[in-house]
Amino acid sequence: MPLFILFICLPPIKAYARSAPAVRGGLRTEHFHITFAERDRRLAESLAKISETVYKDVVDDVGIPPRPGIEVYLAGSHEDFLHRQPQGDKAPEWAAGLAYPERNLMILKVPRAALFGTIDPFQTFRHELAHLTLHQAMSGGIIPRWLDEGLAMYEAREWSFRTTAVISALTLKKKFIPLATLNHAFPVDFNEAEAAYAESFSMVSWLMNRFGRKDFQAFLGNLRDRKTLSQSAQAAFGMTFYELERRWHRWLRFRYTWIPVITSTAALWFIMTLIFLYVYYRKKRHAREKVVEWEMEDLWETEEGYPPRRSKFLPDFPDDEDD
């Protein structure tokens, strides 16, 4: 199961489904309280070590810190993961993590609890912290779905070869999903959902790199103040959201148009030919230099121990006056 659908952020729910299994360990950092089963202590300690660095990365991008005392619960099994979730809508079986912003709570599966594929708990931690931080920072403001998922993927460093392939295909076929249609929900169809996640990640990454944190934070602030998407973009980036999306598309075309060229069979054969010619030239040059070296050695090894008076390699030596 692709990584891009392993993480979700759920709205707050009123009450717990049933009491959670006993937890036998806890660790505190400046901003987190991590609870875990004793067998997961090493993982918890590793998360604690990186937690404050991740916190700083996310807060630096969003601009507003989340509430202190974030609870992080490590679920040791899928059943534990289900028990810990508040009563109401349950996460899909393939989910690796959940964020409940109003509870200041994150629930993460440990790797052995995965029902599908593999789980990177450190990546899940980054992803869910981004969800939690963004939702708390927006204080009930409008958060487009593409922005929510795109930022979480950006903070979790989830870009992969598969994501690149999806974006490249969308660019070359000119079949982008308009981001305005991804404001409230993502498509149900697998391929369309994959495209939606890839576009969201790409757009947020482009905004960060093109305009920087300050303008991105201004964009979030405008949305928090309940301005429209276009008004928020105009105030933060100096253009409407429609124009912003067009410029992003142009950047994608510039970046990905060359991929089919450099990966075609003809291009690969051409590159292999260049490599062969380069290696051949280097070997031939080395052999020629070796022959010259041998000839030089022969010239200096005369019976008298001196080089000859004339050679194509050495200048003439003047006769000694004492001879």
Let me know the angle formed at the C-alpha of 9 by 7 and 136, rounded to the nearest 5 degrees: 135
**pLDDT at site 279:** 76
State mean pLDDT over 199-216. Answer: 97
Clarify whether residues 14 and 67 are in a common domain.
yes
CATH of the domain at 67: 3.40.30
d(CA 150, CA 172): 21
Clarify whether residues 24 and 122 are in a common domain.
yes
**What secondary structure letter does DSSP report for 242?**
H
**pLDDT at site 23:** 47
Q: What is the pLDDT of residues 134-173, one digit of tens each?
A: 999 998 788 999 999 999 999 999 998 899 999 999 999 9
Clarify whether residues 300 and 219 are in a common domain.
no
Cβ-based neighbour number of residue 21 at 10 Å: 14
Clarify whether residues 279 and 198 are in a common domain.
no
Clarify whether residues 3 and 127 are in a common domain.
yes
Which of 80, 112, 140 marks a domain boundary?
A: 140
Which of 213, 230, 257 marks a domain boundary?
A: 257
Clarify whether residues 94 and 13 are in a common domain.
yes
d(CA 68, CA 104): 8
Which structural domain range is residue 227 located in?
141-257
Q: Which residues are CB-contacts of 6 (< 8 A; sequence separation ≥ 6)?
A: 94, 95, 96, 97, 117, 119, 124
**Number of domains composing the chain:** 3
**pLDDT at site 267:** 53
> E strands, the chain, where?
7-9, 25-28, 32-36, 70-75, 97-100, 105-109
Clarify whether residues 5 and 26 are in a common domain.
yes
Clarify whether residues 247 and 284 are in a common domain.
no
**pLDDT at site 278:** 76
Residue 259 has pLDDT above 70, yes or no: no
Residue 197 has pLDDT above 50, yes or no: yes
Contact 218, 228 (CB under 8 A): no
Give the pair of three-digit tokens for residue 303. 């019976």
Clarify whether residues 6 and 135 are in a common domain.
yes
Q: Which residues are CB-contacts of 268 (< 8 A; sequence separation ≥ 6)?
A: none
Q: Which residues of 255-271 are buried (b: 16+ CB within 10 A; e: fewer)?
A: ebeebeeeeeeeeeeee
With a pLDDT cut of 90, the percent of the chain lying above it is 61
Clarify whether residues 135 and 146 are in a common domain.
no
Residue 3 has pLDDT above 90, yes or no: no
Which of 105, 140, 175 marks a domain boundary?
A: 140
Clarify whether residues 274 and 228 are in a common domain.
no
State mean pLDDT over 120-126. Answer: 97
